[in-house]
Amino acid sequence: MTEKLKLKPILTYILYISVSLAAGCVNGLLGTGGGILLTYMFSYMCIGNVKDSLASAMAVILPVSAVSLFTYDGGYFSGSVHFFATAVPAALGGIAGAVLSDKVSAGLLNKIFAILVIYAGVTMIF
């Protein structure tokens, strides 16, 4: 396990704000990805447990995603979002994933997360 980054409280606060601003910008620009930045921040700065880091990132990304949804040109109000066909099943999948995360080790979750990020990056490049 990596050692946690120790900064003075004011520097920590500034770093939180900077990374959160970047995460919001990435999420608003791409529709996803802000949670990855926040998960790294929470993992290396304040929360040692990967499960808590992921949960914290999701709690922050939820309002950011909601704002992006209603701000996008042609977003929710254009009728292009099929709420019951996408959001409801995704929420049910989120519940299933959260239940499963209690049964999976933190090390395995780290590996799954890393593989997913690498796979997404490689497929987007090629």
The lowest-confidence range among 54-63, 97-106, 109-118 is: 54-63
pLDDT tens, 55-87? 778 788 788 777 777 776 666 666 666 777 777
Tell me what pLDDT residue 10 has.
Answer: 83
Closest CA to 109 of 43, 34, 44: 43
Tell me what pLDDT residue 122 has.
Answer: 92
Q: Are 69 and 75 within 8 A, CB to CB?
A: yes
User: Is the pTM above the cut of 0.85?
Assistant: no
| Burial (Cβ within 10 Å: 0-12, 13-18, ≥19) of residue 45 | middle
> Which tokens go with 1?
């396990």
Tell me what pLDDT residue 4 has.
Answer: 57
Where do the domains of the chain lie?
Answer: 9-125
1, pLDDT greater than 60: no
pLDDT tens, 17-62? 888 888 888 877 776 777 777 877 777 776 667 777 777 787 887 8
